Amino acid sequence: MEPPPGLTCRDAIRGMPLAFNAHAAAGLRAVIQFRITGAEPGDYYLRIAGGECFFHEGVFDKPDVSIHARSEVWLAIAHGELDGTLAYLTGRYRVEGNVWLLIRLKSLFSATGKA
């Protein structure tokens, strides 16, 4: 599926709750911080609690995991043009905090819950 033209990195992160899989997140309470640099810099976070996911702009005081990426890299991952695991392993972005949440992203944000 081709991403909509003009989709920004902010749009991609803001849209993640639409693909949220509450079943895969059963019992999870977490904050995922995105620190985006590059052509579209911004700070955003997703708060997961009670089987729901909410998008916020800004910096959360103590997130469970922080993802530091250039907007071009995160958009490529969001569009399926770049494998997120490979991008992480090759240093295309870095993570601070609970790496287990990073590993769970695919199942947490997929309509079917299959990673």
Distance CA 65, CA 97 (A): 4
One-character DSSP codes across 13-75: HHTGGGG--TTTTTT--EEEEEEEETTS-EEEEEEEETTEEEEEES--SS-SEEEEEEHHHHH
The three-state secondary structure class of 115 is coil
CB 7 within 8 A of CB 40: no
**pLDDT at 2 > cutoff 50:** no
Stretch 46-51: mean pLDDT? 96
**pLDDT at 114 > cutoff 50:** no
Q: What confidence score (pLDDT) does residue 113 get?
A: 43
CB proximity list for 115: less than 8 A, separation 6 or greater: 106, 107
**Domain 9-108 in CATH: superfamily?**
SCP2 sterol-binding domain (3.30.1050.10)
Q: Which residues pair with 32 in a beta bridge?
A: 46, 65
Q: What pTM does this model have?
A: 0.89
